[in-house]
């Protein structure tokens, strides 16, 4: 999946040397010093490349983020900071914990704040991508913040030696800790940009949606945000582990990290931490090590699937959803099984004895439908199940504060379902100039929905098509397309079985 996602990121990834039309004369005082930004033609003020934490380099590699280092004088925040280390050609550095702010507010205003966390498989991407430009949100009356965070093995490395040196006895999850640090920075500083620190909405897509999932699940983020939007939540058996023991799908995070490091350095070491921290960024990026959310007993007291099933998450209004054809990006035409018998065999082998009740939902009735069923399975396992999990959790906690969408617009080929990522340009109201009037109307509507939710905790407002709340019984959702409609109980039977299958596998491992 990473290779396919990287192609998409490369398509959108453009780093600006400078953004804006005129400099801001009056410095803004934040906790680490004074900064100036730029004023765009629309009147939106952009502050780019603001450090929210100290550079996580040297002895701070694989440590929780530390406060930003203060500076003397006025720092010009008029260009993007580098992205975090990743396997694609880009402006990048280990010193990458920067955020961007777009605002049209006066200093004494208290506008809603939206904090964006980008996707990219926790492996690539940046807040500097043009598609994530926040000016449309600022024009629509919110303060938009976008953040970088450590990725790949820089953000997700667990290792027994790292856990031993930690005062909490844990390692890994550094990317999530970066999110927490960014939200703490927002609490301390956002009022200087006209934002309301008591009205903060976190939102993200794909791996960014998984980060929203993580922030909802950890008590460490309680009180740092007040609403949450998760788009195409990327949580599945391949990216959740336990720190010290197998969880039914993955070996322990510590053993996976230790194996990757030992293979790279050629064997055990008496001074392993020093060797790890002296490794080049290229060597770390080259580790045979995958990213995963780590259930460590500290940041996450239990597997998040149990947290959400029992509504023990941070109880805030939730908006969640997915694209109806997420898997179109990941299932290559021609790679599907050649027959329904082969499809059943592949699924049975992958899911094991405990998944036999799930197999039948994803085996086609005829050879003509095999490809579509492969898309369904990819969609549901990687994104749809977890997105609905958040909706159900919110409904269990507070039945009036949860909203679910299904995005169905594929402007490239309206005969096809909407693939992964396709909703993002609509959310940011950042479509290509040649987009149709109906697509531009949908983009404005979706941006309005997202902003209204940030203001009030509900997407409904004057002039907006009514969006029904999600509940446990009817499970109604909003269908977002050039013609807005409603649906209910989408994929309910197979997703119920899939959720039970996952929980049983995790419980058996424990």
Q: Are 427 and 447 in contact (CB under 8 A)?
A: yes
294 DSSP β-pair partners = 241
Strands across the sheet containing 485-488: 22-23, 38-39, 45-51, 98-103, 143-147, 111-117, 195-205, 227-231, 318-323, 402-407, 476-480, 485-488
pTM of the model: 0.95
Q: What integer pLDDT is reported at residue 398 of this predicted model?
A: 81
DSSP 8-state class, residue 49: E
How would you label 221-250 residue by residue, b for 16+ Cβ within 10 Å and e otherwise?
A: beebbbbbbbbbbbbbbebbbbbbeebbbb
Q: What integer pLDDT is reported at residue 10 of this predicted model?
A: 40
> What structural domains and CATH numbers belong to the chain?
2-309 (3.40.50.1820), 318-509 (3.40.50.1820)
Q: What integer pLDDT is reported at residue 22 of this predicted model?
A: 74
Which listed residue (94, 191, 254, 326) is catalytic? 326
Which listed residue (94, 420, 423, 494) is catalytic? 420
- Measured CA to CA in angstroms, residue 22 lies from 41, 46, 87, 215, 337 at distances of 8, 10, 34, 37, 57
Tens-digit pLDDT profile for the chain (510 aa)? 444 444 444 443 333 333 445 777 799 999 999 999 999 999 999 999 999 999 999 999 999 999 999 999 999 999 999 999 999 878 999 999 999 999 999 878 999 999 999 999 999 999 999 999 999 999 999 999 999 999 999 999 999 999 999 999 999 999 999 999 999 999 999 999 999 999 999 999 999 999 999 999 999 999 999 999 999 999 999 999 999 999 999 999 999 999 999 999 987 778 999 999 999 999 999 999 999 999 999 999 999 999 999 999 999 999 999 999 999 999 999 999 999 999 999 999 999 999 999 999 999 999 999 999 999 999 999 999 999 999 999 999 986 789 999 999 999 999 999 999 999 999 999 999 999 999 999 999 999 999 999 999 999 999 999 999 999 999 999 999 999 999 999 999 999 999 999 999 999 988
Burial of 39 (0-12, 13-18, 19+ CB in 10 A): middle
- Measured CA to CA in angstroms, residue 58 lies from 96, 154, 160, 211, 279 at distances of 14, 12, 19, 25, 10
Note if 420 is an active site residue: yes
Q: Which helix (H) or strand (E) holds 286?
A: none
d(CA 462, CA 484): 16
Compute the radius of gyration of the chain from its Cα atoms: 22
Note if 94 is an active site residue: no
The separation between the first and the last C-alpha atoms of the chain, rounded to the nearest angstrom, is: 29
Q: What integer pLDDT is reported at residue 276 of this predicted model?
A: 97
Q: pLDDT per residue over 158-208, tens digit each?
A: 999 999 999 999 999 999 999 999 999 999 999 999 999 999 999 999 999
d(CA 102, CA 244): 42
Please name the residues in contact with 4: beta carbons below 8 A apart, sequence gap of 6 or more: 329, 330
Q: What integer pLDDT is reported at residue 21 of this predicted model?
A: 55
Q: Which two tokens stand for residue 75?
A: 């720092």
Which listed residue (206, 230, 242, 252) is catalytic? 206
Q: What integer pLDDT is reported at residue 9 of this predicted model?
A: 42
Note if 326 is an active site residue: yes
């Amino acid at each position: 999946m990473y290779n396919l996602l990287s192609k998409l990121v490369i398509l959108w990834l453009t780093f600006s040397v400078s953004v804006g039309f005129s400099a801001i004369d009056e410095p803004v005082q934040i906790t680490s010093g004074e900064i100036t930004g730029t004023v765009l033609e629309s009147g939106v003020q952009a502050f780019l490349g603001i450090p929210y934490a100290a550079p996580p380099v040297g002895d701070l590699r694989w440590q929780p983020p530390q406060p930003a280092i203060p500076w003397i004088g006025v720092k010009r925040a008029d260009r993007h900071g580098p992205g975090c280390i990743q396997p694609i050609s880009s402006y990048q550095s280990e010193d990458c914990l920067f955020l961007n702010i777009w605002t049209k507010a006066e200093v004494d205003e208290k506008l809603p704040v939206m904090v964006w966390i980008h996707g990219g498989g926790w492996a690539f991407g940046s807040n500097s991508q043009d598609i994530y430009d926040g000016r449309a949100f600022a024009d629509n009356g919110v303060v938009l913040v976008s953040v970088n965070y450590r990725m790949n093995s820089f953000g997700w490395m667990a290792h027994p030696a790292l856990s031993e040196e930690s005062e909490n006895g844990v390692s890994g999850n550094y990317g999530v800790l970066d999110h927490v640090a960014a939200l703490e920075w927002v609490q301390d500083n956002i009022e200087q940009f006209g934002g309301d620190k008591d009205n903060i909405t976190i939102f993200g897509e794909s791996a960014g949606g998984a980060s929203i999932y993580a922030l909802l699940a950890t008590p460490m983020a309680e009180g740092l945000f007040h609403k949450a939007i998760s788009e195409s939540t990327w949580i599945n058996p391949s990216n959740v582990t336990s720190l010290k023991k197998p969880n039914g799908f993955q070996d322990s995070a510590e053993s996976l990290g230790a194996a990757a490091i030992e293979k790279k350095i050629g064997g055990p070491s008496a001074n392993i931490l020093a060797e790890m921290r002296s490794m080049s960024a290229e060597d770390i990026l080259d580790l045979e090590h995958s990213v995963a959310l780590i259930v460590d007993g500290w940041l996450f007291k239990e597997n998040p699937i149990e947290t959400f099933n029992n509504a023990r998450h941070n109880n805030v209004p939730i908006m969640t959803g997915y694209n109806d054809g997420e898997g179109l990006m990941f299932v290559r035409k021609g790679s599907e099984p050649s027959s329904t018998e082969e499809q059943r065999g592949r699924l049975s082998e992958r899911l094991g004895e405990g998944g036999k009740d799930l197999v039948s939902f994803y085996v086609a009735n005829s050879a003509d439908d095999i490809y579509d069923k492969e898309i369904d399975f990819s969609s549901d396992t990687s994104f749809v199940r977890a997105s609905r999990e958040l909706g159900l959790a919110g409904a269990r906690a507070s039945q009036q504060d949860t909203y679910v969408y299904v995005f169905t617009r594929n402007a490239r080929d309206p005969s096809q379902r909407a693939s992964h990522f396709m909703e993002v340009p609509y959310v940011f109201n950042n479509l290509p100039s040649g987009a149709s009037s109906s697509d531009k109307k949908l983009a404005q509507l979706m941006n309005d929905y997202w902003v209204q939710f940030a203001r009030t905790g509900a997407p409904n407002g004057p002039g907006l098509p009514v969006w029904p709340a999600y509940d446990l019984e009817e499970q109604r959702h909003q269908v977002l397309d050039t013609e807005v409609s409603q649906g209910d109980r989408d994929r309910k039977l197979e997703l119920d079985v899939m959720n039970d299958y996952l929980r049983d596998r995790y419980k058996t491992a424990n």
